[in-house]
Structure 1
């Protein structure tokens, strides 16, 4: 078989195939660049950009593959049917992964949290470091990296501690019954009123909340900026301890008194 014969038989098809490839890849690159610029200008969360771009590129490449099949005179319908059977088998094998992908897409669209937020999911607390289409990475306060499958996240209760600008800090302090309650309340009010991180609007609350078995319990309720929550929490615990010690106010602890009764043995 001569070159002329091969060219006459396959030349036009090869040229069409090359033309389809060049035009198709050029269009895909153009569309992806336009989509990328559009996403950068949009209000869609940055963590969703990669996911959207990946899905769109996959769809465009799939359309290009169908165009190539048509150029080679291969019926796309039969190929799609074969892909359907294979796709069903694959989906059954990786249904957990597909479920995580669907959940990842849901997280990126509903945005219950963003990168940098401090959240609690499945009794795990940490800062959101990365949101992928399969799992979400949290860094805990003791510097552990925790990867949670997205399906577990969407199926559980999510607590976002930093979504709002302000949080309420509630603390309870115990004093002995023989201590001066008014003095203890005065000290607590003075601390939360003058601490620079404690917000004065809404107004801090200091009230007796419980008559315990061995102590009076006083509730301190104060609002704070979300980023200052833990600093204020530790500051109040330390300062209350120091001020109570200075004022001679006892912070009782649970204890047990054991009373031993001695009985006289009867005379023999």
Structure 2
């Protein structure tokens, strides 16, 4: 059989893999940055240094008096403070009219910011001028980097027991989430739909893993990092959502279709320009098998928003066809014969009753429309309609109800009447010469071929296509469930 867009459908789908990737990224970030995160720290992303938010510095009133003793007190106080901080011992302080000037060499920008911050907090300080410079001596900076590396290493070594405990807790919650997936009976209490049950399992598992991550961060005293990670994950999810909005739309449509279920497996439906029988509903597409044996994969977003005609939902289906009779035929007798013949045809049900209406009056005939009903669960719709057409045609022939062909009148100018009569006589002779009434030869056929011919002519329901659909449906998981209420 041919296939249209018949790529294999993944059992989980891209959203499942994306959710796992984001979860692993969040966990790895929490473990790596946990020892350096605290609840009261606002740090620069690149330098790791604390920064002040705009508008957070307090404005103090400026005194109208200028006191040298106050300047000396400020200078002494700041010099005493800086002398007790290792990174700020090299700072020299000068105060004039409340304006503090800081000079000296410092190793880091964080030390410069800290010195300015401390000076601004002293009472009586009007403004702080930072004249400090960064140390650029190679030996000093190398020694500082080595000291920092040793300090960080000691910090990691001291942190390892807590990190191990947090990792054990995280693994415990992860194992618990795996165990919860086995509670089929518990989740089936909320829904009989297999797709919804699986979605509830995945949501529960995600909540357990997030809870384990929160507990692990609490042990590491890095809960502030969780808010940052969730915010980053939200922004990333929004960006990814825009990038794969078609996939997300199809996934959401599959959830709604599995709940509403406007069709069931093996239903005969028409959606837009596609007609066929439903094989399965996946998390991305609805798969049909056309009556030519081809696969058609229609995105669920189109299915959900499209107009669906379901011929299987109601087993009783009406068929119609038109037949033309000569204008001289008794229309009442012709209509009665058509209704009687339709009722006597195998596969036609008596209720609703067949009907025959005069549709149009043509130039050379009268067009009748015959209506009848059949049960699609027991009979084949196309075969029943074909049998009724054949029987009505035979009945009209037996009753001498002519079904004339269109008659055209031609007016020929510039030709003598004798020539026209000769042409008409010649045309009649040609038609008589070419008409051959050859008898139908009996074609020998085996018993198997005879059974196939009888089955094709009869009105029994075909099961070959249904068997192929069942075979295809058994190969993959179907989101359609017979236990769920139908729309």
- Scaled to the shorter chain, the TM-score interval is 0.7 to 0.9
1:139 matched to 2:289? The reply is: yes
The answer for the alignment partner of 2:207 in structure 1 is 63
Could you tell me how far apart the structure 2 residues matched to 1:53 and 1:38 are?
Answer: 6
State the 1:187 CA deviation: 2.9
d(CA) in 1 for partners of 2:309 and 2:343? 29
1:73-119 C-alpha deviation (Å, 9 max, x unpaired): 34322211111111011011111221222222222222221221111
How far apart, CA to CA, are the structure 2 residues paired with 1:36 and 1:139?
Answer: 34
Q: Which has the higher strand share?
A: 1
Stretches of 4+ moved more than 6 A in 1?
A: 5-8
Change beyond 3 A, Cα 1:255–1:104: farther
Partner of 1:87: 237
Q: Are the structure 2 counterparts of residues 6 and 87 from structure 1 closer, same or farther at C-alpha, using a change threshold of 3 Å?
A: closer
User: Could you say which residue in structure 2 is the equivalent of 1:115?
Assistant: 265
Over the aligned positions, Cα root-mean-square deviation in angstroms equals 2.8
Could you give the per-residue CA deviations for residues 107-157 of structure 1, whole angstroms, max 9, x where no partner exists? 222222122111111121111111122211111111111111122222221
TM-superposition CA deviations, 1:169-210 (whole Å, max 9, x none): 222221122334344334312222222311111222223232
Match of 1:166 in 2: 316
- Aligned equivalents of 1:43, 1:196: Cα separation in 2: 44
Unpaired segments ≥5 residues, structure 1: none
Q: Which one of the candidate residues 388, 403, 407 is aligned to 1:236?
A: 388
Distance between the aligned counterparts of 2:201 and 2:278, measured in 1? 27
Q: 1:252 aligns with which of 404, 416, 423?
A: 404
Alignment counterpart, residue 248 of structure 2, candidates 82, 90, 98: 98
TM-score under structure 2 normalisation? Answer: 0.47
1:244 Cα shift? 2.7
Deviates more, 1:230-239 or 1:17-26: 17-26
Assess, with a 3 A threshold, how the Cα gap between structure 1 residues 124 and 14 changes in structure 2: closer, same or farther: same
Question: How does the TM-score come out when normalised to structure 1?
Answer: 0.81
Q: Relative to 1, partners in 2 of residues 1:42 and 1:226: Cα closer, same or farther, differing over 3 Å?
A: farther
Q: Which has the higher contact order (CA 8 A, sep 6+)?
A: 2
Q: Give the aligned length.
A: 254
Counterpart position of 2:194: 49
Measure, in 2, the Cα distance between the counterparts of 1:83 and 1:9.
26
- List runs of 5+ in structure 2 lacking aligned partners: 1-154, 417-487
Aligned mates of 1:144, 1:223 — CA distance in 2: 29
* Residues 191, 197 of structure 2: 8 Å contact kept: no
Q: Which of 10, 17, 33 in structure 1 is aligned with 2:182?
A: 33
Structure 2 residue corresponding to 1:196, chosen from 341, 346, 349? 346
